[in-house]
C-alpha cells in the first residue's frame, strides 16, 4: 500500500471556500482517476494563527498506480488548485510506503 499524503495550509479567510471546493470538486476528481482505492482527511491540530492545516491522504495499491496518477493527472489537478487559491493554500506532498 502506498500513501500519497497532501498537506495543505490554508488561510482562514478562504478556508470555507477551499474546504467546499476540495470536498465537492477536487477530491472527487482525484478519486475519479481510478488510481486510488480510498482517501481520508485530517485536520492538523498544531496550527499557526490565521491558518488551518489539513492532511489529505490518498491510498494507492502500489507505486505503479501512483506513478500513473502523477504522469496522467497530477499536473492538471494541481494547476487547478494553484489557479483557484494561489499562495493562500500552500501544499506539501509526501509519498509513504506501508511497512
Task: Check whether 46 has a pLDDT greater than 90.
Answer: no
Q: In this structure, what is the dihedral angle of CA atoms 85, 88, 89, 91, given to the nearest 10 degrees?
A: 110
> What is the CATH number for 88?
3.30.70.100
The residue-averaged pLDDT of 46-59 equals 94
- Domain tally, the chain: 1
Residue 48: pLDDT band (50, 70, 90) is confident
Of all residues in the chain, what percent are helix, strand and coil, respectively (each to 5)?
45, 35, 15
pLDDT in tens, 82-99: 999 999 999 999 999 989
Cell of 91: 501544499
**CA–CA gap between residue 73 and residue 29 (Å, rounded):** 9
| Residues ≥6 apart with Cβ < 8 Å to 71 | none
C-alpha span between 45 and 24 (Å, rounded) = 23
pTM for this predicted structure: 0.95
47: pLDDT strictly greater than 80:
no
Range of 68's domain? 2-97
What is the C-alpha separation between 62 and 10, in angstroms, rounded? 30
Amino acid at each position: 500500500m502506498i500513501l500519497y499524503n497532501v498537506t495543505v495550509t490554508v488561510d482562514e479567510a478562504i478556508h470555507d471556500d477551499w474546504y467546499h471546493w476540495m470536498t465537492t470538486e477536487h477530491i472527487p476528481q482525484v478519486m475519479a482517476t481510478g488510481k486510488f482505492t480510498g482517501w481520508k482527511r485530517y485536520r492538523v491540530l498544531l496550527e499557526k494563527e490565521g491558518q488551518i492545516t489539513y492532511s489529505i491522504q490518498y491510498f494507492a495499491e502500489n507505486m505503479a498506480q501512483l506513478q500513473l496518477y502523477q504522469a496522467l493527472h497530477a499536473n492538471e489537478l494541481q494547476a487547478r488548485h494553484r489557479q483557484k487559491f494561489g499562495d493562500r493554500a500552500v501544499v506539501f506532498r509526501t509519498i509513504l510506503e506501508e511497512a
